[in-house]
Amino acid sequence: MGHIERAAQLLRTCDGVLIMAGAGMGVDSGLPDFRGPEGFWRAYPPFRSLGLHLEDMSNPQWFYQDPPLAWGFFGHRYGLYTKATPHDGFRILLDIGRAKERAREGNKPSFFVFTSNVDGQFQRQGFEEDRIVECHGSIHFMQCTDCRLPQCREIYPAEDLDKIQVDETTMRASSVPQCRGCGTNVARPNILMFGDYGWLSERTDAQYERYEAFLAAQKGSKLAVVEFGAGLHVPTVRRQSEYIVSRGRSTGEYEASLVRVNPRESQTPKGDEYLGVDIGALEFMKSVEPHLQDVLTASSGG
């Protein structure tokens, strides 16, 4: 049995699906994954001459030292993310998740998303907010750069960021958003950055609580963990995927298998519960979809 057929068999026979997504998930939607310095500089050429890397720019220091440069970077990213259309792999995943839930007895939740991406692509496809953990936060939410005042402890939806004009030759913003709580401090995205001690985690903490409730509801179930585009450089998602499998094996709460989809870094730990597939997210979903038509049609009454 080939890798695609084996992956499809896992998806066909599982009770629930846990979708794990790193930066590579958005590549087929036209979004950069910033892989390595060259990948980052291809997306943002002005930073090459400055010798700045992703780790340098995704750092809260710029909101204090040079707010127009900080918002040049994040304002441009916001524009990329809001203009991008989720590729069809997102739709297929949602179809599978909903099919599993319709077929499942007892109204148990049957799919959840864990992602390090801050782009909001899953929500744009139609995944419900209460089924997603954004472990690094979201560019679609804001906070103050100084949280000492009570009114500045708020996490609020981003508004009017599309009005920020960015000079792409310098990557500097023409305007800088202000905190809506105090009206004086610079606002920043509610994103966990490198060296970040000011990130407000309350929104993501609530997501983790719902995530744990989902896992608790999988008691006695067979869970397919499908990971997309999660690299080794920032291994948050990869570690979480492997933790879910080992947790099920050690506690007996559920039975879990991991399918790691990554065109360059598909290596997995040893064991029958792990499968690496070295292709991109869209190609993978397009390849497994024909093998799952019985699941999709049976649960919809077709």
Euclidean distance between CA atoms 157 and 80, whole angstroms: 18
136 is catalytic: yes
User: Which residue's entry shows tokens 């105090």?
Assistant: 182
Contacts of 45 (CB under 8 A, 6+ apart): none
Q: Are 181 and 151 in contact (CB under 8 A)?
A: yes
Structural contact between residues 165 and 26, judged by C-beta atoms closer than 8 angstroms: no
Structure tokens at 163: 């009005």
- Say whether 147 counts as a known binding-site residue: no
Torsion, Cα 163 22 41 77, to 10 degrees, reads: 0
Strands (DSSP E) along the chain, which ranges?
16-21, 111-115, 132-134, 137-144, 156-157, 166-167, 172-173, 187-191, 222-228, 255-261, 274-277
Out of 3, 76, 136, 140, the active site residue is 136
First-to-last C-alpha distance (Å) of the chain: 28
- How many CB atoms within 10 Å of residue 301? 6
With contact defined as beta carbons under 8 Å apart, do 119 and 84 qualify?
A: yes
Q: Is 14 part of any known ligand binding site?
A: no
Q: Which of 263, 242, 195 lies closest to 20 in space, CA to CA?
A: 242
Instruction: Indicate the annotated binding residues for Zn(2+).
Output: 144, 152, 179, 182
Binding residues: 144, 152, 179, 182
Q: Which residues are known to be catalytic?
A: 136
